[in-house]
Amino acid sequence: MSNTIAALLESTPLNKTDAKALLGHLLDKHLGWPRSALISRDQEPLPNELLIAWKSLESQRISGVPVAYLTGVKGFHGIELKVNEAVLIPRPETELLVDLALEEMKRIHAKVPNQVIQILDLGTGSGAIALAIAHECAISKALINLRILGVDQSTAAIELARENAKALGLNHMVEFLQSNWYAAIPDQFQTAFDVIVSNPPYIQKDDPHLLDSDLRFEPRAALTDDGDGLSCIREIVNHAQHYLKPGGLIAVEHGYDQAAAVAALLEKRAFHDISDLADLAGHLRVTQARK
């Protein structure tokens, strides 16, 4: 029969990973079936409304619309986030920033257990980095007093980040503020942060991937500065000294070929202990330094 899970998976031109993600989403939405039904109930006939919805999602995915936008969710560092076209889709390489922040938190907590640790997430989008850090803190046995401020210039992004924080029960640790980088951050936060993390727009304006890949569906302002790919990083680095505590850590994600340029920007602003971290593909993806 052509209206079963098995038949749909067999006939679709989509790769099996995408197809199963979309079908699993529809099975949950329309029938309340768990993802395991993709195997356990793959011969049962599906209702017509689900089949219509499947054809719509299949067609959109064939045209390039990312799976995360079609399902409205994306997993990231152990949490599930709501995402939409207003925000960048969280990617595995960005988890490096979460891991760095967590290591720094543990280091500080071990030295000064009662200290309130404050983290700034610049360009927070869906809140992925800030909320992943807070989630790990919440489930750990260490009694870490954590406060995170996530900022983004997009009103829609901030609204979504707040929605994610509420859904994850992390409102008590994370606050979101609409701000163009540091512009709207209150003066009380000067030299207040132990860690600054950011995944800013860093793709150059003429990069062909902006036009011929799934990236064309993501918000352009979250991907590129419409310049050399370094202007947002310059803004972040040039003012970070005003917001970091002495010895504070800054970590910035960047393009695979931008590590040397980012290190030079940090060195120019008198940061020290500058180092790079590679992603799973072996590309230098994050540069970190201390005030």
The per-residue pLDDT for range 265-278, each reduced to its tens digit, is: 999 999 999 999 99
- Looking at residue 108, its pLDDT comes to 96
Q: Look up residue 181 and give its two tokens.
A: 């980088």
Q: Can you give the CATH number for the domain in which 219 is found?
A: 3.40.50.150
pLDDT band, very low/low/confident/very high, at 212 (cuts 50, 70, 90): confident
Does residue 285 fall inside a structural domain? yes
Burial 185-221 (b: 16+ CB within 10 A, else e): beeeeeebbbbbbbbbbbbbeebeebeeeebeebbee
Q: What is the per-residue pLDDT for 184? A: 97
**152 inside domain:** yes
Q: Are residues 215 and 268 in the same domain?
A: yes
Mark whether 20 and 131 lie in a shared domain: no
pLDDT value for 128: 98
Render pLDDT for 60-110 as a digit per residue (tens, 0 to 9): 999 999 999 999 999 999 999 999 999 999 999 999 999 999 999 999 999
- Characterize the bridge pairing of strands 284-290 and 272-278: antiparallel
Q: pTM value?
A: 0.94
pLDDT of residue 88: 96
- Could you tell me if 103 and 226 lie in one domain? yes
Q: Is residue 77 part of a domain?
A: no
| Residue written as token pair 């040397």 | 260
pLDDT digits (tens, 9 = 90+) for 132-184: 999 999 998 778 899 999 999 999 999 999 999 999 999 999 999 999 999 99
Question: 16 and 119, same structural domain?
Answer: no
pLDDT of 1 strictly over 70: no
Q: What is the mean pLDDT of residues 252-271?
A: 97
Is 160:82 a contact under the CB 8 Å cutoff? Answer: yes
CA 260 to chain CA centroid, Å, is: 24
Diameter of the chain by CA atoms? 68
Q: What percentage of residues in the chain have a pLDDT greater than 90?
A: 93
Q: Do both 101 and 48 map to the same domain?
A: no
State whether 92 and 218 are in the same domain. Answer: yes
For residue 28, what is the DSSP state? I
Across the chain, mean pLDDT equals 95
HSE, side-chain direction, 13 A CA sphere, residue 175: 10
pLDDT at 134: 97
Whether residue 72 lies inside any domain: the answer is no
Q: Do residues 45 and 1 touch, judged by C-beta distance below 8 A?
A: yes
* In a domain? residue 203: yes
Based on the fold, state whether residues 19 and 159 are members of the same structural domain: no
> Looking at the structure, do residues 145 and 238 belong to the same domain, yes or no?
yes
Give residue 40's identity as a one-letter amino acid code. Answer: S
43 lies in which domain range? 5-63
Count: domains in the chain: 2
